Structure 1
Amino acid sequence: MVNKWDETCIPDQSGKTIIITGSSSGLGLETATALASKGAEVILAVRNEQKGIEAAKQVNRRHSKANVKVMKLNLGDLNDINNFAVDFKKQYARLDILINNAGVMMPPYEKTKDGFELQFGTNHLGHFALTGLLLPKLLNTPNSRVVTLSSLAALKGHIFFDNLDGSKGYRGFPFYRQSKLANLLFAKELDLRLRAAKMTTISIACHPGIAATNITSRGSGRDMKFLTTLMNALFQTAAMGALPTLYAAIEPSLIGGEYIGPDGRGAKKGYPAIDTSNHKMFDKGVSEKLWQISETLTGVHYTFVG
C-alpha cells in the first residue's frame, strides 16, 4: 500500500462519469473537486439545487476546465430517486463510479416522505434504491465501482429489525449507528452478489475517520460555524476526510469488498488504508435479511445482468 496516499496520487480521470450524492459541501464537495480536477465529468447529486449550483461554481473557480453538472436528488423521496435515475439514464451512456456519500446525523425524530425513519431512510434506503436503479448503467460500464460511506459509528451499530421506523422508540445516535452499519453491510453484500454474478463492477465501503463537516447540522442544512471550527481544531479536515473515498473510488489494487479508512490511531485521522474492522461487523445472515427488507421497502429489486 502506498504510504501517505493523497490527492496528488490520483491519475487522469478523463472519460469517466461519476455521481456523488450530497456533494454541495463537506466530504462530497472535496471528493467532487478532486475528481473533476483530474478530468472526470462529475454529477453533483444534491437535495438543494441552489447550493449545488454554488458548489459547482466553487469547483470551477478552483479548476476552470472542470466538467461539473448539478442534478436534483432527494434521497428521502423514492419518487425523486426514480426521477433522478430516469433522467441520468437518458442523458448518459455510462456510469463509472457511484459515490453514496450523502447523509444526515442525529436529527430530531422525523420520517421521510415514504414513512421511513429519516436516517435509515436517507442514509441507507435512499442509497440502496439509487444504486439498484442505476445498476444497469454500472454493469454496462467495464470496471465500474460503487463506493458507499459508512462511519466509525457503525462499530457499535445494531439493526433494529423490530423498530426500523423508530415508532417504538427513537434516539438519534443509535439510529445513526444503525444507518451507518446498514451502509457497511449493504456495500459488502452488494460486492458478494456482484462477484457471484461474475460482474466487473465492484463495491467498496469507506469511512472518513472523524472529519469536520457540515453533517453536524443534524440534517437542517444550517451553517454550524462554531462547532465546525472546534472540530477543525480537534479532528482532520474535510479534505483529509475525503481521501478514503477517493482511494476507494480509483485505487487499482482494490478488488471489491474492502473497507477503507484513515490509518491513524483508532482510524480517526490519517491517510487511506484498508480497515479490517468490517470483518467484526459483517454478519451474512443480518446482511441478507437487511437486503430483503430493503428491496421490500423501496420496491427496488436488483438484477445482476450486464
Structure 2
Amino acid sequence: MKKLIFGCGYLGSRVADAWLAKGEQVLAVTRSSARAKELAGRGIQPIVGDITKSLDLSDANGVNTVLFAVGLDRSSGKKIRDVYVDGLRNALDRLPDSVTRFIYISSTGVYAQTDGEWVDEDSPCKPQREGGRACLAAEELLRSHAIRGRSIILRLAGIYGSGRLPKLQDVIAGKPIDSPANGYLNLIHADDAVSAVLSAEQLTDPPERLLVSDGRPVLRGEFYDELARLSQARVPRFVTSQDSPTTRPRASTDKRISNKRMRERLGITLKYPSYREGLSALVTPS
C-alpha cells in the first residue's frame, strides 16, 4: 500500500519507519532539497514542495493513507496559522481520490482548563495559546471537508522519547527550571504514539477525534525529580518568574488528559504506561 506523510519530523519519521518495515511504499512532502536527499536515502520517496503554497501531488496518486503531522519550523519565517490551517487546506485540496484514511495530528493544547480537572474528547476547547488556536482551526477545517468521514483527529499529549527529553541537559547541569513545579504534565512516549497512529489507520468506523496520552498525568516537579534521580543529578529547583515567556503559558493551564476512549477504540497496550517506564528506558546516569 502507498502512504503519504506531511511533516516527516519526530513523529512522522517514526511512522514512516514503521510503514517501511511492513513493506509499504512511503512518500513524504518536504520543503528542503537536502532533507529530500536524506529521506530518499532512507527509502522514503520525497515530494519537494511548500504546503503553504501550491503543491504538485501527482506522485501521490494511489495513496490510501495520509498522515498530516506538520509542525512549525520557526526558522521559516512563516506564521503558525499559515502552516497549520492554510497548509492543511492546500493538502486537502490536492489529495487523490484513492485516500481512505486521513490522520491529522493535533494537540491537547486545544484545551485551556486551569484547575487540574480531567479532560476528555468532549471537554470544551478554548485554547489560550496561538498554537492551540491554530490546531483547533485546522480541526474545524478538516471536519468541514468532504473527507471527514474517512479522517480522524489525534490530539497528542506531550510526546517524548529518544532524543526528545526537554530540559534534560538543564537538569544534568543543575540549572533551575523556569516552570511551576505543581502543574500537570500529560505525556505519550513516541513509540506509543506511533502505535496509536497505526491503529487509527486500521479503524473501519473512526471517531472524529481521540486523545492520545498515557493517561497517567504527573506533576512537573515529580517528573523532573525522577529525571534527576535517573541522571544522578541534583534535585532540580523551580523558578516561576511571571515575566518569563515559558512560565506564563504553562502557569495558565493545568489539566489531566484521559486516555479511556483511546484504549477502548484503538485497543493498544502501551509499551510505556507512565513516565516512569519511559524515563527508565531512556536515561542513563551522566
SS state of the match for residue 239, structure 1?
helix
- Distance in 2, matches of 1:96 and 1:126, equals 20
- Using structure 1 for the length normalisation, give the TM-score: 0.55
User: Percent identity over the alignment?
Assistant: 15
Task: State which of 101, 115, 118 in structure 2 corresponds to 1:145.
Answer: 101
Aligned to 1:246: 198
1:151, 1:209 within 8 Å by CA — same for their partners in 2?
yes
- Using structure 2 for the length normalisation, give the TM-score: 0.58
* Match runs of 1:77-226 below 5 Å: 77-78=52-53, 82=54, 84-85=55-56, 88-89=57-58, 91-104=59-72, 107=74, 112=78, 118-134=79-95, 137=96, 139=97, 141=98, 144-156=100-112, 158=126, 174-190=129-145, 193-194=146-147, 202-212=150-160
Richer in helix (by share): 1
- Distance in 1, matches of 2:92 and 2:160, equals 27
The one-letter code matched in structure 1 to 2:132 is: R
2:4, 2:67 within 8 Å by CA — same for their partners in 1?
yes
- Distance in 2, matches of 1:145 and 1:226, equals 31
Aligned to 1:259: 210
Task: Specify every segment of 5 or more residues in structure 1 that has no aligned partner in the other structure, as ranges.
Answer: 1-15, 61-66, 113-117, 160-172, 196-200, 215-223, 276-306
| Deviation digits for residues 90-129 of structure 1 (CA, Å, limit 9, x no counterpart) | x343121121111118x59x863xxxxx111101210111
Alpha-carbon spacing, 1:129–1:270, altered in 2? closer, same or farther (3 Å): same
Aligned to 1:237: 189
- Distance in 2, matches of 1:26 and 1:270, equals 25
Aligned to 2:166: 227
| Deviation digits for residues 174-220 of structure 1 (CA, Å, limit 9, x no counterpart) | 21111111232233333xx447xxxxx61110023211379xxxxxx
SS state of the match for residue 185, structure 1?
helix
- Distance in 2, matches of 1:72 and 1:40, equals 20
SS state of the match for residue 104, structure 1?
coil
Structure with higher Rg: it is: 2
SS state of the match for residue 111, structure 2?
helix
Aligned to 2:5: 20
2:156, 2:188 within 8 Å by CA — same for their partners in 1?
no
SS state of the match for residue 203, structure 2?
coil
- Distance in 1, matches of 2:71 and 2:126, equals 18
Task: Specify every segment of 5 or more residues in structure 2 that has no aligned partner in the other structure, as ranges.
Answer: 113-124, 173-184, 217-255, 266-286
1:259: Cα distance to partner? 2.6
- Distance in 2, matches of 1:40 and 1:270, equals 30
Aligned to 1:9: none
The one-letter code matched in structure 2 to 1:207 is: R
Tell me the C-alpha RMSD between the 2 structures. 3.6
Aligned to 1:295: none
2:27, 2:60 within 8 Å by CA — same for their partners in 1?
no
Alpha-carbon spacing, 1:261–1:206, altered in 2? closer, same or farther (3 Å): same
Number of aligned residue pairs: give it: 200
Aligned to 1:298: none
Alpha-carbon spacing, 1:48–1:212, altered in 2? closer, same or farther (3 Å): farther
